[in-house]
Amino acid sequence: MAIKNRLQGLLVISVLLALSGTFPGCGSGDSSAPSGGTENIVENPGEPNPAPPPLGGSTNECPQWPEVTVEYTFLSANRPIHITHAPDRSGRLFVVEQGGRIRIIANGGLLATPFLNISSRVSNGGEQGLLAIAFPPGFAQKGYFYVSYTRLDGDSVLSRYFVSPANPNLADPGSEQILLTVVQPFAIHNGGLIAFGPDGYLYMSLGDGGAAEDFQNNAQNTNSLLGKMLRIDTESGPSPFGIPSDNPFVGENGYRAEIWALGFRNPWRFSFDRATGDLYTADVGHNRWEEVNFQPASSGGGENYGWNITEGTQCFESFFCDRTGLKLPAFQYTHAIGCSIIGGFVYRGSDSPCLEGMYIYSDFCNGGVWGMKRVGGLWQSELLTNTQLKIVSFGEDQGGELYALDIDGGIYRIFTP
């Protein structure tokens, strides 16, 4: 099971676990493997060894990799698939149900009446459904928000909905304004997360469209929005949206100007570090590697994250490929460990100070919760706890505390005891 690769810019530590189950359509079905011990350290030969941490006198009492608790909130929804908060200081959490409803958690309880119900417009099941909600900066004054879903014919939709002027816990299903539709050739690999970046632009992840191996070559096709991260101006641009003038491919022949980054297989989850603005995009692998991609806040975009030339750091189904110009993952793990990475968040809350600055993620196929961070400039990751959950998403509340969703219904809180 030991795999060694010496590749520039990488540190790979893999923790082997027992696992079971498959994410619907995300992985390629490689879903069982033996368990084992800690394995697989790949150090970056191109960088000097980091300085050792100072010894003694440290006021930091945290273990390097603290154990976390994943605690049931006693709240459940029907196939919850996305959870987030609104930037309106209301303290509410919004839980997206795959079937087409959005529920509100307020004052520790789940409101009986959905915030929005568009079940009749949504294809549902597998990787399809109502996939995400995003609130623009200034939401409290604007009174509208965005959703991403797959419509009845399977195509991806980004649209805007308005909150009822009379009731902040109720949106108007008749208020839909469709901003963007993207043809989906197959039911799987839709991506579909939307989130506002620290720059006030809306980011949307789209998978390669589906079918094995991206044989349509969508992720590397710069005329296609599939297999991309988009960045669009929904707030100050023309209708239905504008293109930020500093998008990396503006004015380039053969490129869709919405593209911020390319070369993704199924970037199911991405997030911005709320303290630094760095972007973490977890790309679900085919049958060998699950990866976390790191883009510093200083990036101007335009990265090519490799699929389907590469899977993880390796050439995809080939001994040789041209990796020139490709951005390799910050961290990857093999399908000996999992089969569908569920990207999370860099923890910036206050309840669990030992998690400060650590990127938390999971894998749908084994329910583990891992931490990832740079130690001396090198990315490292360790298992923080095991669960028996089918974790499908993480989310942050207003204060930066973390939640996890089990596709079977449960809503969980993550913290260090």
Q: Could you list the residues that contact Ca ion (CB under 5 A)?
A: 184, 186, 189-190, 209-210, 305-306
DSSP code per residue over 89-118:
SS--EEEEETTSEEEEEETTEE-SS-SEE-
Dist. CA 321–CA 78, nearest whole Å: 44
Residue with tokens 């109502």: 130
Smallest distance, Ca ion to C-beta of residue 291, A: 5
Smallest distance, Ca ion to C-beta of residue 281, A: 9
Rank residues 169 and 220 by Cβ distance to Ca ion and give the closer one: 220
Rank residues 210 and 338 by Cβ distance to Ca ion and give the closer one: 210
Are 261 and 301 spatial neighbours (Cβ–Cβ below 8 Å)?
Answer: yes
Structure tokens at 22: 């498959």
Smallest distance, Ca ion to C-beta of residue 237, A: 27
Smallest distance, Ca ion to C-beta of residue 239, A: 27
In this structure, how many other beta carbons lie within 10 angstroms of the beta carbon of residue 390? 22
Rank residues 44 and 175 by Cβ distance to Ca ion and give the closer one: 44
Structure tokens at 51: 């300085």
Smallest distance, Ca ion to C-beta of residue 363, A: 16
Rank residues 39 and 291 by Cβ distance to Ca ion and give the closer one: 291
Smallest distance, Ca ion to C-beta of residue 93, A: 28
Rank residues 8 and 35 by Cβ distance to Ca ion and give the closer one: 8
Dist. CA 59–CA 167, nearest whole Å: 48
81, containing H or E segment: strand 80-85
Smallest distance, Ca ion to C-beta of residue 188, A: 5
Smallest distance, Ca ion to C-beta of residue 309, A: 9
| HSE-up (13 A, CA, CB side) for residue 125 | 3
Over 156-201, what HEC string results?
A: EEEEEEEEECCEEEEEEEEEEEEEEEECCCCCCCCCCCEEECCCCC
Rank residues 139 and 186 by Cβ distance to Ca ion and give the closer one: 186
Rank residues 230 and 243 by Cβ distance to Ca ion and give the closer one: 230
- Provide the phi-psi class of 100: left if phi over 0, else alpha when psi is between -120 and 50, else beta: left
Smallest distance, Ca ion to C-beta of residue 172, A: 29
Pairing of strands 314-315, 310-311: antiparallel
In this structure, how many other beta carbons lie within 10 angstroms of the beta carbon of residue 289? 22
Rank residues 105 and 341 by Cβ distance to Ca ion and give the closer one: 341
Rank residues 268 and 403 by Cβ distance to Ca ion and give the closer one: 268
142, containing H or E segment: helix 139-142
3-class secondary-structure state, position 214: helix
Please work out, in degrees rounded to the nearest 5, the angle formed at the alpha carbon of residue 256 by the alpha carbons of 123 and 161: 40
Are 316 and 310 spatial neighbours (Cβ–Cβ below 8 Å)?
Answer: yes
